[in-house]
Structure 1
Amino acid sequence: MAKTIEEINEKIRQGKAVVVTAEEMIDIVREKGVEKAAKEVDVVTTGTFGIMCSSGIYFNIGHTKPKIKLGGGRVYLNGVPAYAAYAAVDLFLGANALPDDDPRNKYYPGDFEYGGGHVIEDLVSGKEIRITAQAYGTDCYPRKFLDAYITIHDLNEAVLFNIRNAYQNYNVAVNSSDKTIYTYLGMLKPRFGNANYSSAGQLSPLLNDPYYKTIGIGTRIFLGGGIGYVAWHGTQHNPNVERTERGIPKGGAGTLAVIGDLKQMSSEWLRGVSMKGYGVSLAVGIGVPIPILNEEIAFYTSVSDEDILAPVVDYATAYPNRESDVIAYVTYKELRSGEIELFGKKVPTSPLSSYFKARRIAEILKEWIKEGKFLLTSPSAPIPGVESGIKFKPFSGKEVLEEVEKR
């Protein structure tokens, strides 16, 4: 018999809900079968922790005396530029923002780049952030300069708003050339010297709900150590890709735009990252609960690493990549074993995401739900899926080059 989210929430309130992690669900389905698992389990928790470049925060610093209009001016946080084109004291800071001059500036100890992701981590940690600003001044906002220190506690609002997170599968990056190259998937050694990947595989939220049957706009989630929500489908969301028999996309597909109160969050789950030869970013922790409403969803949440194929892409020659640039497919079981085989060669693998932290997120979310601290939400609207009729145009490097040549 099918369940409803409200029925599951009532069991959560009564302390009777059966909650398991996505890892645990694999064994339950193998031992008891899908039908029995669907009856016994109410919620499956998922988790992922990795570098998510399309992340950022918006916040309001409150009015100064005399007032200043930051909108249209120039604003820096620990030397990192913030976007100041909203209103008087509303700002946005992207995870990839870098100082105008030397990216290795004095605000970060050691020989590392410091940028937006690090400012976000410092802010969440409660550290003082130096804000410097230059404005043009108006009759109602006469102040032209600002140099002060703020903490997250000084802000009227501070919101994490990430426009593309929790990618549903992704590339495995390799390098066929004779030189080392540096990418957002890390350093790639020459002649297929290593293979880097970034996904929690069987724990990953959208791989446990491949057709977005339960995850939609308004879904309550674990975000950065606090509670957040799915705000929309993320940028580059493209569900119309080739899938395996059990619905798993064979490459990057769905994405989520997420939002949450930064003041609830923790630097344990929001970490500034510096990538040599690429820049800075933010590692984000996300966990999504999946209500087991029926046998179909129970089946999807029993996906294991051996069921998930990832495309291997040569970043020396084929990035931006096209579908034809995939040189092989490997399972996440192979990736997590520490090596894959390409063209008869053993290639060591390395994750850019943390499976340990993904597992911990799923466990924390499980604890919250079992303790009655976290109820599930019914989506107010679905995110577009394969059956939505909406066609998403996948990014094509070839088409971009052809367009450039026309100009």
Structure 2
Amino acid sequence: MKTIAEINEKIQNKSAVVWTIQELKTRVKDIGITQIAKEVDVICTGTFEPMESSGALINLGHTDPPIKIRQCWLEGIPAYAGFGAVDVYLGASAMADYPGTGEADSDVRQVTTIPERGGGHVIEDLIAGKSIPLRLLGQVTDCYPRASFETTITKDTINQFYLYNPRNLYQNFIVGVNGGERPLYTYLGLLQPRLGNAVYSNPGAISPLFNDPDLKLIGIGTRIFLGGGIGYIVWEGTQHFPLQKRLPNRTPIGPAATLALMGDAKQMSPRWVRGCYFKNYGASIMLGVGVPLPVLNEEVIRYCAVKDEEIVAPVVDFSIPRRVRPTFGLVSYAQLKSGNITIEGKKVRTAPLASIYFSQQVAQELKTWIERGEFTLTEPVATLDMNRSFLPLDQWGSQISLE
């Protein structure tokens, strides 16, 4: 048995033994769970995948005379401005839905937008230190008399700039296929008709929450690697569903737990925060997230030893336009990573949305930080709710037709 305080003392002395999750899974068969639990102090997990339920909170500072922002565009991308005077929230999936700013003001320069560019790209560019055009419209009041303002900003000319991500790190997800007759453009990318391909988004057994299936090692206040900087778990994520059915090894058979994450974007790197776009679907963001798991006992290693052959995901047919779609059963991540799965006797090629290589690199970078004594572990201040069900919107009443 170890404690986080004991592990942190070793980290500060630069004597902690730190492995990536890939190293553990490779070596556990030869060394054994008991010996690894004695020797190793921290296991570093990581992922690099699209996480569209993300965004940035930005405090722009006050103008003179002051403005009470009620509409905001960063490089033509709308940000939410319904709180405070100069605070805005830029969603990663926000996109310009009109040419320019959509305003006819002849005295304000129009911003030419790029159709395949969204909030995630603007966040990436701000993190990279680039200048971003800003346009504001204000609600005129006695204390906020300015009606509009236009300038350019960088991360150095604004006050707070931090990511607040309501839903990241899905503990498992789905595999998307298309049993219909036309191509479908989805949040998993292009799904070819007649089961032409299968796309999965989770990196499998190296993914953080597969290795702590009951969320015993993390909680509110856990320090993590977020986008190349230090972040924290701040709450359960939206659509958090830990009551998902689980295998005997406690891993879920579909989408389950999620986490809400926060971190200072001024510390982050565009290597680990990248805007992306899914054709005919919309903008998103690719995030690198790493979670350190303290080796407190043998049970930690037992769960971290789970293999791709031992975890599964449901194959979902997107050609049926319903909230609950039919499935073609469950497949293991080992099958998915082989490049092909078999559906109703047909061989279907597979591809991941997550970058397996960059997921491993996130874990490796976090390991380096810990070995250098630059990153210590934190005790959670509260556990995450493991008794949360998932409620659909339409269960509370009839849908109203607008026809």
Under TM normalisation by the shorter chain, which class is it? over 0.9
The reply on whether 1:187 has 2:222 as its aligned counterpart is: no
Residues 138-181 of structure 1: per-residue CA shift (max 9 Å, x gap): 22111111010110111111010000000000000000001111
Match of 2:108 in 1: none
| CA–CA separation in structure 1 for the residues paired with 2:62 and 2:224 | 32
| CA–CA separation in structure 1 for the residues paired with 2:253 and 2:277 | 29
Match of 2:77 in 1: 80
The reply on whether 1:204 has 2:214 as its aligned counterpart is: no
Equivalenced residue count is 393
Match of 1:317 in 2: 320
Match of 2:343 in 1: 342
Displacement of 1:38 in angstroms is 1.0
In the alignment, is the contact (CA less than 8 A) between 1:121 and 1:271 conserved in 2?
Answer: yes
- Within the candidate set 225, 234, 237, 1:234 is matched to 237
- In the alignment, structure 1 segments of 5+ residues that lack a partner are none
The reply on whether 1:97 has 2:88 as its aligned counterpart is: no
1:39-118 matches, cutoff 5 A:
39-70=38-69, 73-102=70-99, 106-108=112-114, 113-118=116-121
Q: Which amino acid aligns with 2:77?
A: V
The reply on whether 1:132 has 2:131 as its aligned counterpart is: no
Displacement of 1:317 in angstroms is 1.1
| CA–CA separation in structure 1 for the residues paired with 2:261 and 2:129 | 22
Residues 194-215 of structure 1: per-residue CA shift (max 9 Å, x gap): 0001011111111010000111
Q: What secondary structure is seen at the aligned counterpart in 1 of 2:309?
A: helix
Q: What secondary structure is seen at the aligned counterpart in 1 of 2:156?
A: helix
> Closer, same or farther in 2 for the Cα pair 1:219/1:103, shift >3 Å?
farther
Displacement of 1:277 in angstroms is 1.3
Q: What secondary structure is seen at the aligned counterpart in 2 of 1:253?
A: coil
| CA–CA separation in structure 1 for the residues paired with 2:318 and 2:89 | 32
Q: What secondary structure is seen at the aligned counterpart in 2 of 1:153?
A: coil
- Within the candidate set 292, 305, 310, 1:289 is matched to 292
Match of 1:13 in 2: 12
In the alignment, is the contact (CA less than 8 A) between 1:19 and 1:44 conserved in 2?
Answer: yes
- In the alignment, structure 2 segments of 5+ residues that lack a partner are 102-110
| CA–CA separation in structure 2 for the residues paired with 1:48 and 1:254 | 15
In the alignment, is the contact (CA less than 8 A) between 1:218 and 1:230 conserved in 2?
Answer: yes
- Within the candidate set 259, 280, 290, 2:283 is matched to 280
Displacement of 1:59 in angstroms is 1.0
Match of 2:385 in 1: 384
The reply on whether 1:403 has 2:398 as its aligned counterpart is: yes
Displacement of 1:100 in angstroms is 3.1
Displacement of 1:28 in angstroms is 2.6
In the alignment, is the contact (CA less than 8 A) between 1:320 and 1:396 conserved in 2?
Answer: no
| CA–CA separation in structure 1 for the residues paired with 2:257 and 2:203 | 15
Displacement of 1:27 in angstroms is 2.4
Q: What secondary structure is seen at the aligned counterpart in 2 of 1:404?
A: coil
In the alignment, is the contact (CA less than 8 A) between 1:238 and 1:394 conserved in 2?
Answer: no
| CA–CA separation in structure 2 for the residues paired with 1:395 and 1:145 | 40
In the alignment, is the contact (CA less than 8 A) between 1:103 and 1:113 conserved in 2?
Answer: no
Q: What secondary structure is seen at the aligned counterpart in 2 of 1:363?
A: helix
Displacement of 1:18 in angstroms is 0.9
Displacement of 1:136 in angstroms is 2.5
Q: What secondary structure is seen at the aligned counterpart in 1 of 2:10?
A: helix
The RMSD of aligned alpha carbons is: 1.8
> Closer, same or farther in 2 for the Cα pair 1:355/1:394, shift >3 Å?
farther
In the alignment, is the contact (CA less than 8 A) between 1:128 and 1:149 conserved in 2?
Answer: yes
Match of 2:357 in 1: 356
Superposition TM-score, scaled by structure 2 size:
0.94
Displacement of 1:297 in angstroms is 1.0
| CA–CA separation in structure 2 for the residues paired with 1:378 and 1:25 | 23
The reply on whether 1:166 has 2:166 as its aligned counterpart is: no
Match of 1:143 in 2: 146
| CA–CA separation in structure 2 for the residues paired with 1:38 and 1:106 | 57
Q: Which amino acid aligns with 2:347?
A: K
In the alignment, is the contact (CA less than 8 A) between 1:3 and 1:292 conserved in 2?
Answer: yes
Displacement of 1:241 in angstroms is 1.2
Match of 1:373 in 2: 374
The reply on whether 1:30 has 2:33 as its aligned counterpart is: no
| CA–CA separation in structure 2 for the residues paired with 1:74 and 1:406 | 31
In the alignment, is the contact (CA less than 8 A) between 2:99 and 2:113 conserved in 1?
Answer: no
Q: Which amino acid aligns with 2:74?
A: L
Superposition TM-score, scaled by structure 1 size:
0.93
Residues 297-328 of structure 1: per-residue CA shift (max 9 Å, x gap): 11111112111101100011164226xx3322
| CA–CA separation in structure 2 for the residues paired with 1:396 and 1:206 | 27
| CA–CA separation in structure 2 for the residues paired with 1:395 and 1:168 | 19
% identical aligned pairs: 48
| CA–CA separation in structure 2 for the residues paired with 1:271 and 1:334 | 28
Displacement of 1:405 in angstroms is 6.5
